[in-house]
């Protein structure tokens, strides 16, 4: 009875008046209200036990560990823990795969994901739950960047742009699968297991996925590369190769030396002014892509619309969003396509400020999301073409690392700015998209140009434009 326990504190569910409830329980409701109104109010105390409404969402991690009131921040921590794991995973695995190979990194990430995913469903400790969520993020980052890089380096140029965008449709499948899995499960543990089951399909990938022949060539392993390509004659005989390092020497190196070599790999991305400019611009585009991908999905709580419908439609529009770049790549260049899509996406998200609540805003937001995802797909493919083979995965890892700041910031933007100004998160996305279109002006077009294998082949802007 809120009128008795916390009169005038209807919106505050974390405290209650310290009445003698043993006395009040023997009174009729009207008598209890009269007694409380005529008696001096006692001190306000924090609640020790909570009752949750689980009719719609059943048991969640909030009710499991009481992540409310003073512990409300722990709920946000659980939400962003995967993003934090992706941040460090992208930072580490990009360098590891450039040094030890794409396939080894992919297999290790797959095993880690298949262990940490289901394990998170069985823990009773909140701390261990966060640990496994972090490992899921770390493994996910390793899988994504190595899988995407292998695909790009295995595919001939005429099909690369198509497969690169088809690769990203997995996002939309996952987005649609998640609410369906939540609908048919009874609690968060069952949901965690339901979303972990597809991870075991990675066993097939680990068995059949070949190593990147481009990486093998840069390491001087021509025989292994020729076995994948099918003929040694397909390799470029004039290609400058790195000196292969013996396994014994690699194993004898200290951890400190490994760290220094990793840092050296990142520093190569800033070895020239042109490379540094491309690195910074691509980092921004990847950050922006992840930022509004998650922010627009979460911001549905600030719209006067059905939340389940909104989330489902977000997943549905993702598929054409990832396929749209294929059409643009057929007729237009990477640069012009990216500028056009980012501009349209930005305008669509700014328009919501003059539209009425309900379907008009939802349609404008979904259209902005669709074109924004298409622009992000172009930016991802563009990044692969802008960097030489020996540092390409490091560049992708750098971009993926920066992109994880997006999902880290998105929940706070929605909860803090969105609650005060419902339009602010979407308008912020629109401004960032327009800024991304502006930055693309300063990078060259790569359509129809071969990608270099070594940084020594691309030391200045002129070399980049002609490789």
Kindly give the confidence (pLDDT) of every residue in the chain, 467 residues in length, as a single tens digit, with 9 standing for 90 and above: 555 666 555 555 677 666 666 666 666 777 777 777 767 777 676 777 777 766 655 678 877 887 777 776 777 788 788 888 887 887 788 778 877 888 888 899 999 999 999 999 999 999 999 999 999 999 988 888 888 888 877 877 667 667 766 777 777 788 778 778 877 888 889 989 998 988 898 888 888 888 877 778 877 777 777 777 765 445 554 444 444 344 434 444 444 665 666 677 778 788 788 888 888 999 999 999 888 888 888 777 677 666 667 777 888 888 888 888 878 877 888 888 999 999 999 999 999 888 887 788 888 888 999 999 889 888 887 887 888 767 777 787 788 778 878 888 887 787 777 777 888 888 999 999 999 999 999 888 877 665 555 555 554 444 444 33
* Class of residue 454 by CB neighbours under 10 A (exposed 0-12, middle 13-18, buried 19+): middle
Strand partners, 396: none
User: CB–CB of 167/144 below 8 Å?
Assistant: no
Cα–Cα distance measured from residue 158 to residue 378, given in angstroms and rounded to the nearest whole number? 16
Closest among 413, 429, 420, 439 to 370, alpha carbons compared? 429
Q: What is the pLDDT of residue 243?
A: 41
Q: What DSSP character marks residue 187?
A: B
Q: What is the pLDDT of residue 165?
A: 67
Q: What is the pLDDT of residue 136?
A: 93
Closest among 300, 263, 317 to 99, alpha carbons compared? 263
Tell me the whole-structure pTM to 2 decimals.
0.67
Q: What is the pLDDT of residue 25?
A: 67
Q: What is the pLDDT of residue 459?
A: 47
Cα–Cα distance measured from residue 356 to residue 301, given in angstroms and rounded to the nearest whole number? 16
Q: What is the pLDDT of residue 284?
A: 94
């Amino acid at each position: 009875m809120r009128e008795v326990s916390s009169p005038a504190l209807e919106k505050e569910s974390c405290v209650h008046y310290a009445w003698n409830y043993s006395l009040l329980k023997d009174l009729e409701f009207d008598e209890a209200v009269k007694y409380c109104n005529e008696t001096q109010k006692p001190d306000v105390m924090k609640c020790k036990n909570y009752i949750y409404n689980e009719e719609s969402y059943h048991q969640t991690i909030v009710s499991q560990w009481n992540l409310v009131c003073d512990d409300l921040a722990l709920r946000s921590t659980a939400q962003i823990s995967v993003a934090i794991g992706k941040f460090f995973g992208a930072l580490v695995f990009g360098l590891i795969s450039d040094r030890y190979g794409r396939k080894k990194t992919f297999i290790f990430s797959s095993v880690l994901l298949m262990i940490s995913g289901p394990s998170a469903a069985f823990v009773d400790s909140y701390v261990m739950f966060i640990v496994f969520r972090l490992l899921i993020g770390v493994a996910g980052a390793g899988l994504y960047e190595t899988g995407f890089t292998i695909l790009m380096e295995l595919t001939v140029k005429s099909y690369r742009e198509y497969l690169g965008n088809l690769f990203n449709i997995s996002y939309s499948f996952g987005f649609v699968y998640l609410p369906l899995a939540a609908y048919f499960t009874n609690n968060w543990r069952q949901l965690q297991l339901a979303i972990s089951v597809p991870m075991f399909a990675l066993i097939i990938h680990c068995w059949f996925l070949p190593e990147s022949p481009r990486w093998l060539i840069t390491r001087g392993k021509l025989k292994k590369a020729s076995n994948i390509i099918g003929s040694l004659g397909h390799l470029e005989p004039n290609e400058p190769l790195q000196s292969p390092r013996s396994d014994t020497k690699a194993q004898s190196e200290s951890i400190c030396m490994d760290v220094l070599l990793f840092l050296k790999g990142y520093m190569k991305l800033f070895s020239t002014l042109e490379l540094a400019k491309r690195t910074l611009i691509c980092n921004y585009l990847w950050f922006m892509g992840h930022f509004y991908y998650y922010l627009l999905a979460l911001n549905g709580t600030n719209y006067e619309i059905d939340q389940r419908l909104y989330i489902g439609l977000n997943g549905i529009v993702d598929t054409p969003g990832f396929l749209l770049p294929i059409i643009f790549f057929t007729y237009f260049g990477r640069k012009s396509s990216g500028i056009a899509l980012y501009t349209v996406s930005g305008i669509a998200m700014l328009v919501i400020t003059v539209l009425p609540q309900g379907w008009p805003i939802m349609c404008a937001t979904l259209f902005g999301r669709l074109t924004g995802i298409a622009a992000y797909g172009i930016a991802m493919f563009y990044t692969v073409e802008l960097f030489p083979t020996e540092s390409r995965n490091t560049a992708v890892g750098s971009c993926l690392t920066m992109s994880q700041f997006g999902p880290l910031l998105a929940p706070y933007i929605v909860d803090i700015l969105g609650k005060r100004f419902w339009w602010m998160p979407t308008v912020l996305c629109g401004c960032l998209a327009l800024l991304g279109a502006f930055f693309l002006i300063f990078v060259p077009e790569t359509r129809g140009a071969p990608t270099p294998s070594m940084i020594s082949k691309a030391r200045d802007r002129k070399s980049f434009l002609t490789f």
